[in-house]
Amino acid sequence: MKTNINFIDCIINEIKICNAFKNSFDNYKNKERKYQMKNILKEIFYILKTGLSWRQYRGPINSNSLYYYYKKLSDNRIFEKTYESIIKQYYAKNKQSKLKYQIIDTTFIRNKLGCENVSLNKYFKNKKCCKLSIITDINGIPISVLVDKGTKHDIKFVEENINKLLIVANTRRFKNTEKFKQYFLADKGYVSKELTKKLIEKNYIPIIARKRNDPNKMTIEEKAIYKKRIKIENTFSKIKQYRRLDTRYERKTSNYKSFLYFALIKICIDYMNK
């Protein structure tokens, strides 16, 4: 699926159709703007990558101006909308093949300054944290993203995640089609008879890791399919390479999620450009 897409250009295209930014480009009232939108996005990406605070930033753009634009982009959900647009382009071909294996998992996000959706968690050194839960396809591309309190159990994310899929999965249509029937992969943290029943009702084939004391062991075929779960671990690894995501500094969850979608845009575009 090799393309030649620039992730900054994708965001700019979304900005251009947003009314809140109609005066944010060159030659508005015949006056050249001090900062180009492309440069602003590059510097925001630098903040995302390095984890610098806005006050510590010493780049070519005034830090207050840079934060002002980031807040405006976040408030208008520009990064989220851009990612949704890219996802549609990504699934234009071989959609059902990509969705055949859907994988869910959660990870802890350390918290420094966040005040929304954070809580103490005994499994995370009893420190304040939040949880990031995602569903990915077979290529590790996230199709559902949730951020919530660190005390929320992994199982409670599942139904909400499925309801907020960015793409229509068509599980009912393909449940009896061997080539395109959809599997739902999860680790031992999702072991639950009730959850398994709900997944079957949604026309998924659940493959969840068994606990040691479970007499019903995985079949050879299930073990082979379960190995594909590594894709979501690779995605978490890519996300946590961005320091602004590995540790949360944003007070509001919406601002953290904007940085998250910015990173996901880059991850998805990099895959499409392979």
Q: Give the 3-state secondary structure of residue 2.
A: coil
Residue 126 covered by a domain: yes
Compute the average pLDDT of residues 112-138: 89
Please check whether residue 175 is in contact with residue 96, taking contact to mean a CB–CB distance below 8 angstroms: no
Name the domain count of the chain: 2
* 153 and 224 belong to one structural domain: yes
Least confident span in 32-36, 212-216, 240-244: 32-36
Residue 4: how many other CB atoms lie within 10 Å: 6
Residue 273 covered by a domain: yes
Compute the average pLDDT of residues 81-95: 95
Residue 146 has pLDDT above 70, yes or no: yes
Residue 55 covered by a domain: yes
Compute the average pLDDT of residues 214-242: 94
Please give the share of the chain, as a percent, with pLDDT higher than 90.
Answer: 78
The rounded mean pLDDT for the chain is 92
Nearest C-alpha neighbor of 166 from the set 100, 84, 236 = 84
Nearest C-alpha neighbor of 265 from the set 77, 105, 25 = 77
State which residues form the domain around 78: 1-90+251-274
Q: Considering just the CA atoms, what is the radius of gyration of the chain in Å?
A: 20
Distance CA 68, CA 101 (A): 40
Contacts of 62 (CB under 8 A, 6+ apart): none
* Predicted pLDDT at 100: 95
Distance CA 182, CA 204 (A): 5
CA 260 to chain CA centroid, nearest Å = 6
* 13 and 113 belong to one structural domain: no
In 202-272, which ranges are continuous DSSP H helix? 220-226, 230-239, 243-246, 253-272
